A = this chain, B = another copy of it.
Amino acid sequence: MVTIKDSVHDHITVEGVAAELLDTPPVQRLRRLKQLGTVGLVYPSANHTRFEHSLGVYHLADAALDGLGIEGAQAERLRAAAILHDVGHTPFSHNIESIIARLTGRMHDEVDDLLEEGEIARVLALHDIDPGAVADLIAGDGEFGQLVSGELDVDRMDYLVRDAHHTGVPYGTIDTGRLIRELRFVDGELVLGEGNVQTAESLLVARALMNPVVYNHHVARISKAMLRQATERLLETEEATAETLRRMDDAALRVALRSCPETAAFATRLDTRSLYKRAIWAELQDVPDELLDADHEARGEFERQIATRAGVEPDAVIIDVPDRPRMRESTSRVVVNGEVRTLGTQSTLVDALRRVQQEQWRLGVYAPEEATDAVGRAAEETLGLDLDALVVDVRKGINTTLDEF
């Protein structure tokens, strides 16, 4: 048993298999992965890591298990899953996850291979825990997987509060104590008990308010896109493979980008915060489906066409197309008048928040500051967009939530 001081939950006591898993190299590696990747370039205090987040998730999971009366082997598996749920993260967390997923077929929560090797496998075996069962929980499978990855999982409860604490943006401050206390299992579904429609809504609202200000702040998006572009180039040089990259930490990737001639310029820009600027910042309804549905190759082709038309180097154009908006939490379940209902059917807010998310969606095309005009015009033509509105948006958009710093 170890007790660890956490800046969010104060003392966290870790016991059993989780305590031993903490000491394994793959979990210790999480100390060196920033939770929010490049968001630190907007919020300088946002340097928290996947390690402290994993401790927080363990802490909340443990409290939830207590409240739900889950004990024994099932509880140990869940505690293992909580502490391990992020071992599959790439450097800079979600920032380059899509690349690795394209090349390896694995998202960060597909970790069966990682649990079957090395120290983690050894510890799990020692405790008679099946790695596959833990991997399933991490993937959100089965009744109990919902606790680790689902609409009401402890993962998002921790990250909202933790990201608020470290960025200084108060919107993520939800009432985790109440959420944990109100969790129930009804017919195999994880739900919130009677009288908690608003408790469920508060989770959505917190995310909806954090999204534009923190997670999708345009400076975070630009730097993330640059990191992604640099990582693609690195993989093309074959100095790293998707598989080695997947197991690096932030430091290793950062230094690899500096050392490789093809990516050194990007590395310097990220190190010195000499970021690209927005050449295009377009709303969802103005973006043709062809672009929304473009795969990696097609998007690369667009970038090259724009660069040629604008007369700039290929790397001077980055197209950033976020996924279409979705709102997973709208399917979270609450008990209303004795029946389990999905929040989406019960809450007037869910629809509105979904529309807000669509309104806030933006296509970004980024370029070095001196090239934004040329690239903007070239992108407009190449992608078939309407520039007037965009210029206004770029300069005065809803996402300009803090000064340009």
A residues apposed to B, CB below 8 Å: 1-8, 10-11, 22-23, 25, 28-29, 31-32, 40-41, 43-49, 51-52, 55, 165-171, 173-175, 177-178, 181, 194-195, 197-199, 201-202, 205, 209, 212-213, 249-252, 254-255, 258, 271-273, 336-338, 348-349, 351-353, 355-356, 359, 392, 396-405
Contacts and interface: CB of A to CB of B under 8 A. Distances in A.
A45 B52 contact: yes
Contacts of A195: 396-401
B5 A168 contact: yes
A contacts with B: majority SS: helix
Contacts of A174: 170
A47 B44 contact: no
B205 A4 contact: no
Nearest to A211: B198
A400 B194 contact: yes
Nearest to A42: B5
A403 B174 CA distance: 19
Nearest to A25: B272
A348 B359 contact: yes
Given A28-B272, A205-B205, A353-B349, A168 B6 contact: yes
Contact of A173 (B49, B52, B173): B173
Contact of A352 (B351, B401, B405): B351
What's the number of copies of this chain in the assembled complex? 4
Contacts of A202: 171, 209
Contacts of A351: 352
Contact of A170 (B46, B173, B198, B213): B173
Given A170-B173, A255-B252, A6 B397 contact: no
Given A29-B271, A47-B48, A198-B212, A404 B6 contact: no
A326 B107 CA distance: 46
A23 B348 contact: no
Contacts of A338: 392, 396
Nearest to A11: B177
A198 B209 CA distance: 8
Given A251-B255, A273-B28, A392-B337, A167 B7 contact: yes
Contacts of A209: 198, 201-202, 205
Contacts of A28: 271-273
Contacts of A255: 251-252, 255
Contacts of A337: 392, 396
A31 B338 CA distance: 35
23 contacts: A1-B403, A3-B181, A5-B45, A5-B167, A6-B45, A6-B168, A7-B45, A7-B165, A8-B45, A25-B271, A28-B272, A31-B44, A44-B49, A45-B52, A47-B47, A47-B49, A171-B175, A194-B400, A201-B209, A251-B255, A336-B396, A337-B392, A348-B352
Nearest to A8: B45
